[in-house]
Structure 1
């Protein structure tokens, strides 16, 4: 935390002097250092605290670059709030880590077996139902926003900053909830395979495919590169957390598929 505190103060001073690039680079460096530190200490590629540092603090660093002309300097309260968010997360994480530090590997395995068993509340059918409900709610919210605002960002012309204007307070949160569906799809697939059935292409499998297509179509129609990458990234991290590994070939395929979509959305 001392390193983060020093980097944060330096970044704040640089931003106050309108040296935005250096301000962002300092926070990006802090995010990488904090993530690598937790990774080297635990050997866990998706360590929760490390990921929080990487994306939250790293996201602050990218935002400090002021890449968009729409961005303005952060207010002092914004700097304080973001700093306190990291401090509180670190504090709570440390407390919980110390509380559960005495749990043995056998205890953790028993908990894991319960939550991955057929009798668990997380059984495959309920995951599929959850995916269906989230996709339906997200799609309905998207259609309502499109109807109420009168345009779809992907097909809009003459609408400056189409994605930024495609928001209805309170509704848009439901629209972007579709990013959870690919992760749930990974959980469904892994659980189905672990029940001794393999990845069978039954009705549940094809329903999951359809739900994934619909869920990924919404960020595309909203012209949201962030939501698209977030959905894919969360699915990858979910897979790693459940299997403990991830094929480099699959990673390459995912990147190849994401690059064209990212470039199209950028255009």
Structure 2
């Protein structure tokens, strides 16, 4: 409801060392105004060392993602990231390796490790979790474009969506990617989170004008009075609101309807 009367209750755990450590609880805090959210975060995370300390916990993957997004300021963690990426750290698993390699690129500016670790995973045909990292690398990952394209024919819908988007980011060629993404946008989707429909809509929007053929389908879905009927842990209304935002944002990126100029209502 974005009622600011909730702010003291949300901020109190951070002040007493109990800042939410899992994703669902942390997402609640995103309802806070940006300035207040930053203040709540800074209470618990005053410097990079705090994040790096999470590498020894069950939240290691989240910590790796945060370090990567912090970027060059976290360059002091580079050696630790190499250990995770290469499996030398005893706590490192496959997902840790890909994420750590990507984070290493983000903090050092050197893409070699990320290209090697994520590219090897993708070429093996089993590296779907490496696809978002190759997508972020973009044209730097051009040597892996064919392997990524092959994964657009994967039996898994989430992998197909990730591969299609990564291929577009790497090559700039939307022609093979758009049909794959379109095929995942089921107009009768009820909101089952096992289906990558919303992710496909988001990626079509990010593709922009080359995916303009998706616009009529997305407008039709948006025009429905009720889109989602799958009650996933009692969050159907919130899920529908999120889906509506995704559809609206995607359509804005795809361009105005035929006969309407940009900027016209």
Q: Same fold (TM over 0.5)?
A: no
What's the TM-score, normalizing by structure 1?
A: 0.33
Tell which has more relative contact order, 1 or 2 (C-alpha 8 A, sep 6+). 1
What's the TM-score, normalizing by structure 2?
A: 0.33
Higher helix share goes to which structure?
1
